């Protein structure tokens, strides 16, 4: 364990009666890093955030923020961190600036100092155009930005963002991504939870994948993709009716993804198989499909996506 880590988690566990929400997880986040805590519904993401931000106490194990223990040194931890919860905590009836002011006051900022911090975050998050608009009238993405701005009004060392983009449309999501990426430049350590692989892949230096309260994988996005094994051969078929014949022809290859038979979809079906011999496998696949005159619109070799890694890992854990 490194004393210089921003977040250290060791065998952290939390049970609610008979529900073991976290079954002893361990990881570390370096200062200034962005960690993506990834997992499906109920995997323990919010529980981890509430323990690290001292909102609840662990059942077992330990965690610290910049060396301060979350149980024995909780007051110090609260000075070091800030949290944007899974459910936005803004007051809809107040304007953006009024909400920022409420947050600032809660953390002890007053008068000129408070006004100057509000101006700072309004500029940093490009909120000038909405400062005097009621938060209830803002788009989801803009609301999220006000929410993150409020969490940063105290200049925390460590920021927790619990599912910052869930429920946002792609454009708003991209705006929040820019905001989070900007925090890196400020040297703030960020732990963000997400259900979106793409989000973790884009933003995080390291990823911890949770499933049912346990860590199922961790590492850089690149390493996790490598861990998923050899490259894959992805093909798009011209005719959905060919799917069964294709799978028959490729029966000796590991199927990573194939269209669901029952799905009456109008899109061209996509089949993904493991390519242990790289381009050799792709050539072999083409030869076999040509031999039985199956039309392929597109075929190629690529690395497995984080999505495929995740499904593979959570499936083997079950």
Ligand X SMILES: Nc1ncnc2c1ncn2[C@@H]1O[C@H](COP(=O)(O)OP(=O)(O)OP(=O)(O)O)[C@@H](O)[C@H]1O
Interaction site with ligand X (CB under 6 A) = 16, 19, 21, 39, 41-47, 86, 195
- Residue 36 binding result from ligand X, Mg ion, none, given CB thresholds of 5 to 8 Å by partner type: none
Question: What is the rounded distance in angstroms from the CA atom of residue 224 to the CA atom of residue 228?
Answer: 7
Which residue matches tokens 């900022």?
109
Report how far residue 296's alpha carbon sits from residue 285's, in angstroms, rounded to the nearest whole number: 11
CA-to-CA dists, residue 34 to 97, 258, 264, angstroms: 27, 34, 41
Write out the residues near Mg ion by the rule CB under 5 A: 45-46, 86
Q: Whose Cβ is closer to Mg ion: residue 86's or residue 303's? A: 86
Question: 112-119: long-range contacts (C-beta < 8 A, 24 or more apart)?
Answer: 117/153, 117/154, 118/153
Collapsed DSSP state (helix, strand, coil) of residue 107: coil
d(CA 282, CA 88): 48
Smallest separation (angstroms) from Mg ion to the CB of 39: 9
Q: How far is the CB of 133 from ligand X (least distance, A)?
A: 29
Q: Which residue is nearest to Mg ion (CB)?
A: 46
CB closer to ligand X out of 32 and 42: 42
Q: Which is nearer to Mg ion, 11 or 195 (CB)?
A: 195
Q: Residue 159, class by beta-carbon neighbours within 10 Å (0-12 exposed, 13-18 middle, 19+ buried)?
A: buried
For the CB of residue 276, give the shortest distance to ligand X in the complex, in Å: 34
Query: Cβ of residue 41: shortest distance to ligand X, in angstroms?
Result: 4
Continuous H helices in the chain: 45-52, 74-80, 96-106, 111-124, 140-151, 170-186, 197-203, 221-227, 243-249, 279-291, 306-317
Q: DSSP secondary-structure letter at 254?
A: P
CA pair distance 214, 232, nearest whole angstrom: 28
Closest CB 166 distance from Mg ion, rounded Å: 9
Q: Which does 139 bind (CB under 5 to 8 A by kind): Mg ion, ligand X, none?
A: none
Nearer to Mg ion, 46 or 53 (CB): 46
CB of 19 to ligand X, least distance (A): 5
Nearer to ligand X, 198 or 254 (CB): 198
Q: Least distance from C-beta 85 to Mg ion, angstroms?
A: 9
CA distance 219 to 221: 6
Within 10 Å of residue 241's Cβ, how many Cβ atoms?
Answer: 9
In terms of CB distance, is 41 or 316 closer to ligand X? Answer: 41
Nearer to ligand X, 55 or 74 (CB): 55
User: Of these partners, Mg ion, ligand X, none, which one is at the site of residue 43 (CB under 5 to 8 Å by kind)?
Assistant: ligand X
Distance CA 300, CA 318 (A): 31
In the list ligand X, Mg ion, none, the entry touching 85 (Cβ below 5 to 8 angstroms by class) is: none
């Amino acid at each position: 364990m490194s004393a210089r880590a921003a977040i250290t988690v060791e065998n952290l566990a939390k049970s609610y009666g008979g529900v073991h929400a976290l079954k002893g997880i361990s990881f570390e986040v370096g200062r200034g890093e962005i960690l993506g805590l990834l997992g499906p519904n109920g995997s323990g993401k919010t529980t981890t955030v509430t323990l690290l931000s001292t909102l609840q106490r662990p059942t077992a194990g330990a965690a610290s923020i910049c060396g301060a223990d979350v149980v024995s040194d909780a007051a110090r931890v609260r000075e070091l961190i800030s949290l944007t919860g899974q459910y936005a905590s803004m007051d809809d009836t107040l304007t953006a600036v009024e909400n920022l002011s409420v947050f600032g006051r809660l953390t002890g900022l007053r008068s000129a100092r408070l006004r100057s911090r509000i101006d700072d975050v309004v500029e940093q998050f490009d909120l000038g155009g909405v400062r005097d608009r009621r938060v209830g009238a803002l788009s989801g993405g803009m609301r999220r930005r006000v929410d993150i701005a409020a969490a940063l009004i105290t200049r925390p060392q460590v920021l927790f963002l619990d599912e910052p983009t869930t429920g946002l449309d792609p454009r708003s999501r991209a705006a929040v991504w820019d905001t989070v990426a900007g925090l890196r430049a400020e040297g703030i350590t960020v732990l963000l939870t997400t259900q979106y692989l793409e989000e973790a892949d884009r933003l995080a230096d390291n990823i911890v994948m949770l499933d049912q309260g346990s860590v199922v994988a961790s590492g850089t996005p690149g390493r996790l993709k490598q861990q998923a094994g050899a490259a894959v051969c992805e093909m798009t078929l011209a005719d959905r009716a060919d799917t069964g014949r294709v799978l028959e022809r490729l029966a000796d290859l590991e199927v990573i993804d194939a269209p669901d038979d029952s799905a009456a979809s109008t899109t061209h079906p996509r089949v993904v198989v493991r390519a242990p011999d790289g381009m050799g496998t792709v050539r072999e696949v083409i030869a076999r499909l040509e031999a039985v005159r199956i039309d392929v619109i597109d075929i190629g070799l690529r690395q497995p996506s984080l999505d495929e890694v995740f499904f593979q890992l959570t499936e083997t854990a079950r």
